[in-house]
Structure 1
Amino acid sequence: MLGYRSSLQLCLAALIANTVSYSPTPNANHIFNAIHSSMRQWGSSLNHNGMSFFLATVPEGTQLYHGDWRSDPIQGPEWLAFEPEHALVFARPHPHNPPPPGDGPSPPQQVVGEPNQAEDGFLHTFAAARDLRLLYVDGMSAGKTSNGTMDSQDRILFHGGREDGGEGWMEEGERAELFCRMVQERWGGRLDGMLRMEAGFEIILCDFARNIEVLRVSRVRPREEGMPGGKIGDHAGRLWLPAVASRYWNIGGDRVRLNYDYLVTAYVYGLDLFPAGERSQPRLEHLPSNELEPMRRDLDALIMNHETSESSTNWQAVADMVVERYGNRLRYLASGQASTLQQLQEEIEDIVTPFIDYDRRNTSIEVEQCSKHFVGRSMSVTTVAADAVLSVSRSICATLLNALHHTEYDLVVGQIQGLINYLSWTTWKDCNGCGDHEICMIPMWPLGTVNDYNHPQCRDFAQLDGEGPRYWALQFPLRKP
């Protein structure tokens, strides 16, 4: 369902007379999906390689959490989680981020004995002392893998400091130190930190003393007897993933605001992000450094010329309405449940009839009215985000309206299926209807299996770690420029 190569152009080229031909903006589907999935655990896990940068604001007063084996005041740069259960995973003595279960050695345990140290650790609770200015790197950008989750950081953001990239949770301190140094030396202190996602959203905050207020420091619940540390089976793990899954579709509470009018995305530079059609996820690691330089310059300009607090159109809200209006109906049209051409076209006409003047039929006008259904008159339509949302909307409307003119059932179904493959909406992988003590399990670094990605299923809180090959253990071949 989440294919990355579009068959839409072929479908549109085959349309018969009395229909409208329409060529989508290149990569509009990927940009649309980046907007739709931004700050959402679900879509950002499935489209885990991201490729886009946004300016983000975390409002003053937002509560944030840090797990540590010490109760001492936290010195930056360090990590903050949005969900306390996420922070609890790091309350015991180990470096930031344990390796995936079964994929590496257990984190080193340190000797504790001082009054401000504990084997079970502490949960530090903070509130943002002012609006935090952050750079949001989308996708599973905190996943320490060679699958491409860190491409946009190591090839774009850290150009010069980490040109050869690198994988592994042991290098996280280096990334944090380098980013915070860049904030001061390259961008004049215009950011407070970086916003990323693994199994949960996190902030790398550069200056704790200036940016957050300590609310409390609490000793954590003792580890259960016989439970191994760092595994999904311990009590922290059983709390962790349900809390993360509650953020599948929204970070919640307006805790993060993104600027959608100004973003930097690899999808607009004509880059070969899917070399030879061999990958379902975009990559940057095979591209020569000089091809990435325009994107690096635009990222600098984004940070230097725009404020995180600038007002912008919420194009994610518009994308949501598009997905909600058409998602289930497109899937139904492609399913074969409408068994005749007449039934199929009646279903399609029900969808597009509000945009048709039956006295003066004009498919071109109908497509335009349909595609702008959710676009307010005051919205600027000149930005990258606007262009992507409108392009995807036009693709949907043109395909549906053109289908009313066709005389072959298989042709109509084929074009709807081609549209679905092009759109690749992550909502179509949702389990739908999990029980109260279950989540729809997908790979979220460092957890998950290949089958969890291909066929997400409802799984009980007590048995979240599935069987089979580990998804993040897959090693894709790396190419150097």
Structure 2
Amino acid sequence: MYLASLETRKHLPYVAGSVVFIVVTLLVNPWSVGHFIDHTATFGEEAGDGLLLPITRENASAIFNTVQGALRNKNAQVEPIGVSFIPAYIPEGTLLYHGNGDGQIPEGLEWVAMDHEFSYTFIADRGKHPGKHPGPPGGPGKPPSHWKPGKRPGPGPPAPSGGSGHTSMLTFRVREPLSRMILLDGSSAAKTTSGEMDQQFLLANMKDIDNPLFGEFEAAERICEWGKSFGLDGFIRIEMGYEAVICDFFDKLELVSNITVDWANNTLNLPIKLSDESLNEEYTDLFKSISAMEGYDQIRAGNVHDKRDGRILLDFSKFQTMLNRTYVGTDPYTRRIYNVSSDLREGIRDDLARVLKPGTNPYQSTNWQLMTTEIVEKFSPILRLINQTLSSDEATDLEKAKNITVFTTNTVRRFAQWSGADVSMESGLERAKLLAVKEYAHPLEPVASASDALIYSSLHKVTEMIVDAVFESFTVSRTIINSYFLKEDIDFSPLEKLQSDMIDLLNTLRWDSTFYRCSETCAWDEVCYTPSWGPSPLGWGQFGTYEDADGKRRIEPDLRCVSYKTILGHGGRPF
């Protein structure tokens, strides 16, 4: 049963949870559709109907959520196991950040962050100052094992001399658009064995990876090698914020800044050890707080992109996914694609190579995320209010009907055309439903690819489901209200079925990333924190999560406000 109160969600499973896997294949193969209609961005009762493909409710919802969650930090964490690949584009002039131990431009592939706080937190405390915490995997104070010396930079600031013990922050500018990138949805940088890295291992054609921490660099090398034939620039994934693997730093990037990071005590103009030993504990505590603030800055930078990282553009017309190719679980915590057949594995690799070869052009395709966002923001409060009303133990049935009438009437009235006494109310409402669906789900650009047709069909199906539910809620409540005010016998029994239908709809939509939030307003020195499944200042998927009945760890619906003091109380940064 869907929760009467979402705040208690963590104690109850979805109805769908009893079915681990479900067929989510299209009734027809969208990749075989050979012709798409070019039409203007207008809509009406018939516009675009020839583009709609048969699609299941579950598949439509999964694709809708993939589009809606793309480049959104919170969505990626709440739906951690991704199964899709979205061609992406990083425009000229974008700044990318890389920290390392030698100040050299990497010779081969390497990671960059979209936020400097992300790179900084991995290198800032590798120097010598009081209260230094352990370094990353590989040993205290040591850089990750895949950091290796590179060539000296060309034009730009000189590199520092080696052997100083200092780390470096390098800032790169994109001088030529990175037009052949791939966004991996979900929490795709988490070093786990539970599926978050399946997309990378699929693209790398790797199987049976026992330790993702040691397999991810090999996977990145193999992905870049695979992409040479069509000019792959790299791929994008999320940890606490968005990061990218760049296959060749000397191809389309230019170095604009190379900062040798000083030790924290030098920055404060203080010695490593104080002559007055009575102050040493207080001195260490100060540096622990500075280090915790460094971690908090990383969390805050990632949190900004709960709304979306707007520096990366997406070309949905080249969208590729496993959701319409094979059986995929409905639960984004348990679905897997690591064990798909060789034919499916090669099929999606070939399709990605084909669509990426000419490069992406996000400026000439529909930004479907604009529509998913409008749909979510319009209807999530209405659906939540209807569900809470129907599940209330305190409201009478009449009060429920009155509340639902208030919540739905204006939405229905907006689309219900007055046609005089000769037209029945029922037929008018059916026409209104069609208009409502078309307003919220219609292409902005010509539908010119199978990917566009798949996404459009998914948005259309989801919008139909929602509009049907809102109009049905209105019709049931209106009938009760009519009977009450006209002094007729009242039949309240349809409210029970309405509640069941709403539970089913919310289970199918899976809008947890919208409904999960902090119950209090966070202070200025706090952020509403969505737990990360990769390394973070608050641990590896422990803080703010719980174990379900099957032992699977999930994010709690009640998110928490955190500050740098939270990190201090949690034991500091654990990597």
Q: TM-score range by the shorter chain?
A: 0.7 to 0.9
Distance 1:345 1:238, change over 3 A: closer
Whole-angstrom CA distance in 1 between matches of 2:92 and 2:288: 32
Amino acid of the residue matched to residue 64 of structure 2?
Answer: F
Q: Of the candidates 418, 422, 428, which is equivalent to residue 515 of structure 2?
A: 428
1:447-462 alignment, distance < 5 Å: 447=536, 448-449=541-542, 451-452=544-545, 453-454=555-556, 455-462=558-565
Q: 1:64 and 1:43 mapped to 2: Cα distance?
A: 23
Cα 1:438–1:74 shift into 2, 3 Å: same
CA distance, structure 1, for counterparts of residue 367 and residue 568 of structure 2? 36
The equivalent residue for 1:31 is: 63
2:376 corresponds to 1:320: no
Give the counterpart letter for 1:141 in structure 2: S
CA gap of 1:102–1:24, structure 2 versus 1, over 3 A, is farther
Alignment of 1:59-74 (within 5 A): 59-74=91-106
2:223 match: secondary structure = helix
Q: CA deviation at 1:318?
A: 0.7
Map of 1:219 onto structure 2: 260
TM-score, normalisation: structure 1: 0.81
Distance 1:136 1:4 in 2: 29
- In the TM superposition, what whole-angstrom CA distance separates every residue of 1:172-225 from its partner, at most 9, and x where no partner exists? 3212221211111xx332x21111111111111111112111111112252467
CA deviations on 1:93-144 (whole Å, 9 max, x unpaired) are 99xxxxxx999966354599x8334434111111001101211111111111
Structure 1, 140-149 or 412-421: larger mean CA deviation: 412-421
**Corresponding letter in the other structure for 1:188:** F
Q: Which residue of the partner structure matches residue 180 of structure 1?
A: 224
Tell me whether 1:356 sits opposite 2:416 in the alignment.
yes
8 Å Cα contact 2:57-2:508 kept in structure 1: no
Aligned pair partner of 1:122 in 148, 154, 168: 168
Alpha-carbon spacing, 1:103–1:456, altered in 2? closer, same or farther (3 Å): farther
Identify if the C-alpha distance between structure 1 residues 23 and 53 changes in structure 2 by more than 3 Å, giving closer, same or farther: closer
Alpha-carbon distance between aligned partners in 1 of 2:101 and 2:292, rounded to the nearest angstrom = 17
- The Cα shift of 1:166 comes to 4.1
Aligned to 1:249: 307
Tell me if structure 1 keeps the 8 A contact 2:16–2:507: yes
**CA–CA separation in structure 2 for the residues paired with 1:232 and 1:282:** 40
Partner of 2:434: 368
Question: Structure 2 stretches of 5 or more lacking a match?
Answer: 1-5, 18-53, 127-132, 144-148, 150-159, 266-282, 477-491, 546-554
The normalised TM-score by structure 2 is 0.68
Out of 77, 99, 115, the residue aligned to residue 45 of structure 1 is 77
Alignment deviations for residues 266-291 of structure 1 (CA, whole Å, 9 cap, x no partner): 111241435xx8x7442123544445
Shift of 1:461: 2.8
Contact 2:89-2:360 within 8 A present in 1 as well: no
One of 492, 504, 526 as aligned partner of 1:418 = 504
SS of the aligned residue for 1:138 comes to strand
1:168 equivalent in structure 2: 212
Q: What's the offset of the Cα at 1:294?
A: 3.8
- Greater share of helix: 2
Quote the offset at 1:249 in angstroms.
Answer: 1.2
Match of 2:405 among 310, 323, 345: 345
Q: Which amino acid aligns with 2:115?
A: E
| Counterpart Cα distance in 1 of 2:443 and 2:189 | 38
CA contact (8 A) 1:88 1:123 kept: yes
Shift of residue 324, structure 1, vs aligned partner:
0.8
Residue 269 (structure 1) aligns with: 325
SS of the residue corresponding to residue 466 of structure 2 reads helix
Change (3 A) 1:235 1:434: closer
The answer as to 2:460 corresponding to 1:390 is yes
- The answer on whether the counterparts of 2:527 and 2:563 sit within 8 Å (CA) in structure 1 is yes
Distance in 1 between residues matched to 2:166 and 2:559, nearest whole Å: 33
Equivalent pair of 1:50/1:137 in contact (CA under 8 Å): yes
- Choose 375-384 or 175-184, whichever is displaced more: 375-384
Asked if 2 retains the 8 angstrom alpha-carbon contact of 1:62 and 1:127, the reply is yes
Conserved 8 A contact 2:526-2:562:
yes
Distance (whole Å) between structure 1 residues aligned to residue 569 and residue 317 of structure 2: 40
Alpha-carbon distance change, 36 to 110 in structure 1, aligned in 2, over 3 angstroms:
closer
Residue of structure 1 equivalent to 2:204: 158
1:298 to 2:362 alignment:
no
SS at match of 1:250: coil
- Structure 2 CA distance for aligned equivalents of residues 232 and 107 of structure 1: 22
* 1:231–1:46 Cα change, 3 Å: farther
Q: Is the 8 A contact 1:223 1:234 kept in 2?
A: no
Q: CA deviation at 1:236?
A: 3.2
Output the CA distance in 2 between the equivalents of 1:168 and 1:372.
Answer: 44
User: Counterpart in 1 of 2:90?
Assistant: 58
Note if contact 1:41-1:250 (Cα within 8 Å) is conserved in structure 2: yes
Which amino acid is the alignment partner of residue 298 of structure 2?
W
What is the Cα deviation at residue 245 of structure 1?
Answer: 1.1
Separation in structure 2 between the aligned mates of residue 286 and residue 28 of structure 1, nearest angstrom: 23
**SS of equivalent to 1:456:** strand
1:196 is matched with 237
Structure 2 CA distance for partners of 1:377 and 1:250, relative to 1, 3 Å = closer
Q: Distance in 1 between matches of 2:443 and 2:140?
A: 58
Deviation digits for residues 233-285 of structure 1, max 9, x if unmatched?
A: 54532321111111211113xx11101122011111241435xx8x7442123
Q: Which moved more, 1:333-342 or 1:453-462?
A: 333-342
CA distance in structure 2 between the partners assigned to 1:90 and 1:103 by the alignment: 8
When Rg is computed on C-alpha atoms for both structures, the one with the higher figure is 2
Deviations 1:276-314 (A, max 9, x none): x8x744212354444545434433333346535562101
Q: Secondary structure at the match of 1:409?
A: helix
Cα–Cα, structure 1 residues 376 and 34, in superposed 2: closer, same or farther, change >3 Å? closer
Q: Which residue of 1 aligns with 2:297?
A: 239
Report how far residue 378 of structure 1 moved: 4.8
1: distance between equivalents of 2:323 and 2:404? 35
Within 1, Cα distance between the matches of 2:262 and 2:301?
Answer: 17
**Any stretches of 5+ residues in structure 1 without a counterpart?**
8-21, 95-100, 473-481
Contact kept? 1:55, 1:308, Cα under 8 Å: no
